[in-house]
Amino acid sequence: GAGVSQSPRYKVAKRGQDVALRCDPISGHVSLFWYQQALGQGPEFLTYFQNEAQLDKSGLPSDRFFAERPEGSVSTLKIQRTQQEDSAVYLCASSELGGAGDIQETQYFGPGTRLLVL
């Protein structure tokens, strides 16, 4: 079946430009996560949605980063006034159930969007 898809796969932006990254989770998955992976590092948590509700945005590095999931399916991560330090791979993941607590579940990851800010 279809997995998590992300678009674009690659994005080159000039410093100061706004970008929007899209994530299509697995159909019916309740939870959606965004992670940022710098070169040579492990992914770092950015934000978490349960359906359309953004329950945790503690990992967003600055107020230039904004994420939404208005209808509880597709999500968009927007970065305003991009800086060179924003260059990274942005990974989206989804899981079937509501995340936390006593539920053992796997997050399914998309291929990522590689963002390069010049």
Binding site for another protein (CB under 8 A): 4, 31, 33, 35, 40-45, 48, 56, 59, 91, 93, 99-101, 104, 106-112, 114
Q: Least Å distance between CB 41 and another protein? A: 6
- State which residue, 18 or 52, has the beta carbon closest to another protein: 52
Q: Least Å distance between CB 66 and another protein? A: 19
- Name the E strands within the chain: 5-7, 10-13, 19-24, 31-37, 44-50, 53-56, 65-68, 75-79, 88-95, 108-109, 113-117
Note whether 67 and 77 are within 8 A (CB): yes
Q: Least Å distance between CB 78 and another protein? A: 21
